[in-house]
Amino acid sequence: MTSIATLGSHCSLQVLKGAKDEGLKTILICEKKREKLYRRFPFIDELILVDSFKEVLDDKCQKKLQENNAILIPHGTLVAQMSSEEIESIKTPVFGNKWILRWESDRVMKEKLMREATLPMPNPVSSPKEIKKLVIVKRQGAAGGKGYFMASSEEDYNTKREQLILEKVISKDEPLYIQEYAAGVLAYLTFFYSPLREELEFFGVDQRHESDIEGLARIPAQQQLNSQKVPSFNVIGNSPLVLRESLLDEVYTMGENFVKAAKRVVAPGMNGPFCIEGVYDENAKFTSFEFSARIVAGSNIYMDGSPYYSLLFNETMSMGKRIAREIKNATASNELDKITT
């Protein structure tokens, strides 16, 4: 029997619950410090206890996964805590395309794929000297918004950067990435592409709540001006959003363009869940600042099914369950090689 394994964090509960609902065995690679939490959930069949998630690369762990015919579901924690080389070296079959995760982590490659997919993007700013309007300054990799800051001039940039170095949030020689700030309504658009059916599904939209940029909005302007703190974009949680129906056609087109572009640049393409992240401006024009080439934590909102999936499936369908369903279908038709790498 195939089993589903994932790292204990991010969206592991949803992934394993979905797998259990589909009748698959569930395995959690769990840091010892979180054992008590995860033992609370009866749908987790087996815990592989580790001191650090990096142990997933060790022969011992890989052997255990192999004995269980496991497929590893990658999520944000895997991308944040392991290098692309490490992820690519995982011997256990990874759901989706593990090669595309490098394109998510590396800012230059990320931009290249987004351009290939013709996603409308904010302009990159090549150096602090070129800051002419409001920009957002980001760190490399999936830092989850921690240590990101906004600046409106070179001087402003230098002051904030120095302050964050003093606070040890960022390091002195850390390369930073500057991008024009896109104002509007945040929307994180999640899709699922099935290489078995060669079909794109739109799953849903979420919004991220980020501290303390959101906290700042609750403080009157006078106190904001007196504050010396550099606000960050650290994700705390997510909430649901539905879009004006007139925007859906363009959403599907963006998803399809992304799938086509990924097929061209990083075989076998964008299989499984992915997310296009950005903002809608006052003219309902979407600007995308980011993508995730795997399940995002925003899908946790829809553990009981999303509004858009209730239009496509006559049953409750979470993203975790959708992944497990794809694995079940591929197992039945002997096509697991089509959906894993």
Residues that bind ligand ATP (CB under 6 A): 122, 136, 138, 142-145, 148, 179, 181-182, 186, 208, 210, 233, 235, 277, 279, 289-290, 292
CB-nearer residue toward ligand ATP: 213 or 336: 213
Closer Cβ to ligand ATP, 194 or 288, answer by number: 288
Of 69, 71, 63, give the one whose Cα is nearest residue 4: 71
Least distance in angstroms from the C-beta of 179 to ligand ATP: 5
CB of 266 to ligand ATP, least distance (A): 18
Nearer to ligand ATP among residue 274 and residue 289 (C-beta): 289
Minimal distance, residue 203 CB to ligand ATP, in Å:
16
The distance of closest approach from Cβ of residue 214 to ligand ATP in the complex, given in angstroms and rounded to an integer, is: 9
Decide the pairing of beta strands 25-31 and 46-50: parallel
In angstroms, give the least distance from the CB of 79 to ligand ATP: 7
Residue found by looking up tokens 């010396």 in the block? 228
Min CB(235)–ligand ATP separation in Å:
6
Pick 208 or 322: Cβ nearer ligand ATP: 208
Q: Are 53 and 31 in contact (CB under 8 A)?
A: yes
Return the residue nearest ligand ATP (CB atom): 142
Residue 91 CB, nearest approach to ligand ATP (Å): 26
Q: Which is nearer to ligand ATP, 11 or 24 (CB)?
A: 11
Cβ neighbors of 266 (< 8 A, separation 6 or more) are 97, 99, 100, 103, 113
Q: Which is nearer to ligand ATP, 25 or 209 (CB)?
A: 209
Nearer to ligand ATP, 297 or 327 (CB): 297
Residue 276 burial (CB count, 10 A):
23
Q: Considering the complex, what minimum distance in angstroms separates the CB of residue 51 from ligand ATP? A: 25
Burial 301-310 (b: 16+ CB within 10 A, else e): bbbebbebbe
> In terms of CB distance, is 7 or 317 closer to ligand ATP?
7
User: What contacts 40, CB < 8 A, 6 or more positions away?
Assistant: none
Which residue, 19 or 254, is less far from ligand ATP as judged by CB?
254
Return d(Cα 92, Cα 66) in angstroms, integer. Answer: 7
Query: Sign of the C-alpha dihedral, residues 125, 128, 131, 134?
Result: positive
Q: 79-91 burial by CB neighbour count: b if 16+ within 10 A, else e? A: bebbebeebeebe
Rounded Cα–Cα distance for residues 156 and 24 (Å): 53
Give me the least distance between CB of 208 and ligand ATP, in Å please.
5
